[in-house]
Amino acid sequence: MKMNKIYAWMAAAMTLAACSTNDIADLGGNDADNVVNVAATRANTSSNSNAIKAFHLVNTTQQSEYDKKYEADYKYDDASSTYVMTNGTVLWCNTDDNEGNKVENVFKAFTPLSTAANLASYDRFYIPIYQASPELLAAADWMTATATSTKAAATDGLSLNFEHRNAKLHFDVTVKDDAAALTSEDITVIGNITPYYSANESNKTIEAIVAPVSADEITSSTSRPTLISFRLAGGDEISVPLPTSISQIEAGKQYNFSITVGHYALTISSVSVTDWNNQDITEDENDEAASSLPIPPYVTFTSNEEVGFRMTTDYGYTISDLEYSVNYGEWKSIPEKGISDIQFGGSYGNLRLRGKNLNGTATNERTCSNISFSSNETNAKVACTGDIRTLLDYENYNTVNTSNARFCKLFSTCDILTSAPELPATELAQGCYYCMFFECQSLTTAPELPAMTLAKGCYYNMFNNCRALTSAPELPAKKLANDCYNGMFFECTNLESVTMLATDVSARDCLYKWLYDAGTDDSVTQRTLTVASQDVYNTIVNTKYNNNPALPDIWQSGEGKATVIYKEQ
């Protein structure tokens, strides 16, 4: 059996009352009256249902005071419903101290019994890394107990309350058809352990017993440890790191996960922590451990064909603290001046990005970085999902400060990109999304833009020349900023629907050419414009910039032009 790691806990020093020298005769191995009987054992739980079947017991009082070690294995005998002592003898130090009080005996016990593989004792244990059956799983469950008593107090025998010294992982598994042939041999969990995988038509679970991992061990590592990995048909491997909601792995705790496994996809949908015996641990209702999305929604690219990922820089821009991972593999840094021809898609799986740079991927509209893709396949397309804020701080993306984040030209001229990452920021930097999707001519779906407070030029030319875009994201801000929508849907020739809810459109050039040549393709048979009110509509119609109307004629109300809807009516 393979072994993973040794763990040693040194017992605390104890001050014990000694047996008097007049009672040495009571310590004889043949004194049956002084043999220690064990009346009951249980794991540390609210019920007595978890009885221990075999354990090793030592009387440490005699060992420390007289340098004589009384120890033995105890095994439960079903026929007699008692614990039978084997491989040694444990005796009571049944005497009084100098003040006439009975000496308290201190006992230490551990389970499972020691083998050449686990070298178990009260203070150390080697975890077997192959746990692919119920019996092998149980063999990894190291527990210890300490009891203090006198013979007179334990008239019915000694009681031992065992506590788990390792932690348990439990996964409820949903397996998609393309990964249905999984076995234990295809799975490893933290610590390189092969777990027990139990599967039938209605229920699939994975369980493993692992060593505790301190918060310092996790935070001192350059990347979070891998929680679980799968080897799928054909040799492909996918894995996920330990969720950020788990700050440490504690002894005696059970960590529960719900996961979905499919070809090139491994998703954790929930995380909870209980004690080993399924008693709930009180948690703050806002604790991230109870989140339905414990893994950060990294910016993720998928493709139906094998493509190459490139990231280049303009005007001396330096990429900083940005990493990529292919097919859930190791995270690697993207060099300062960029990277090219990183293969993903098709048989290579997905490509993910994450970062730790509050300034995003650009300094301004010129000094920036750009993502593009190369492929020999004419039908290759790339879809993008995830939250753009994971490029700023993937561990705290929900609360990260976005007021200085810029992504200027990030996907500019990326003509095989079909979808965009989420852009949920409500605090915007000047020019933050300038030309972000300029000439992305395969982009069919635009991200939501929830910000209510805009910054100068924030959406300038953002979707300029995105000819496959049919619907614009709703623009909910009530007050516009200088150049905020300037050229935003410039030449989106298939655009059919626009919703712009501002009530103050007085900012300089805020609507300059924002719908210039938009919705002009012959395939567009109707256009719908939704604005806040008729007053706002009239203001826009009567606004011109250098003799260019803020609202092109085909987007004005009228037969063969556009249907105008007033939101406030």
Per the prediction, the chain carries an average pLDDT of 85
195-243 residue pLDDT tens: 999 988 778 899 999 999 999 888 887 778 889 988 766 556 778 888 8
- 3-class state of residue 449 by DSSP: coil
Phi, psi of 258 (to 5 degrees): -110, 125
Average pLDDT over every residue of 280-302: 51
Closest CA to 320 of 345, 268, 355, 370: 355
Per the CB < 8 A criterion, the answer to whether 141 and 107 are in contact is no
pTM of the predicted structure, to 2 decimals: 0.55
330 dihedral zone (left: phi>0; alpha: psi -120 to 50; beta): beta
Asked if omega into 212 is within 30° of 0 (cis), the reply is: no
Count of CA atoms in the C-beta half-sphere (13 A) of 25: 1
Alpha-carbon Rg of the chain, whole angstroms? Answer: 34
Higher local confidence (pLDDT), 139 or 39: 139
Asked if omega into 112 is within 30° of 0 (cis), the reply is: yes
418-431 residue pLDDT tens: 999 999 999 999 99
The neighbour count for residue 41, using CB atoms within 10 Å, is 26
| Strand (E) or helix (H) holding 378 | none
The pLDDT value recorded for residue 370 is 98
Q: How far apart are CA 217 and CA 210, in angstroms?
A: 15
Phi, psi of 190 (to 5 degrees): -50, 135
- 3-class state of residue 213 by DSSP: strand
Start-to-end CA span in the chain (Å): 74
The two beta strands, 563-566 and 528-531, are parallel
Q: In the structure encoding, which two tokens stand for residue 68, read together? A: 């004589």
Q: How far apart are CA 137 and CA 128, in angstroms?
A: 9
14-53 residue pLDDT tens: 223 334 322 333 333 335 678 898 887 777 543 334 578 8
The pLDDT value recorded for residue 16 is 30
Protein fold of 3-164: Immunoglobulin-like (2.60.40)
pLDDT of 459 strictly over 90? yes
Closest CA to 516 of 548, 474, 477, 481: 548
Least-confidence region, from 116-130, 191-205, 286-300, 340-354: 286-300
Least-confidence region, from 58-67, 156-165, 476-485: 58-67
Count of CA atoms in the C-beta half-sphere (13 A) of 226: 18
The pLDDT value recorded for residue 45 is 43
**Residue 364's Cα: distance from chain center in Å?**
33
Protein fold of 167-290: Immunoglobulin-like (2.60.40)
Q: What is residue 422's DSSP assignment?
A: B
| Strand (E) or helix (H) holding 135 | helix 134-138
List the chain domain ranges. Answer: 3-164, 167-290, 298-405, 448-569
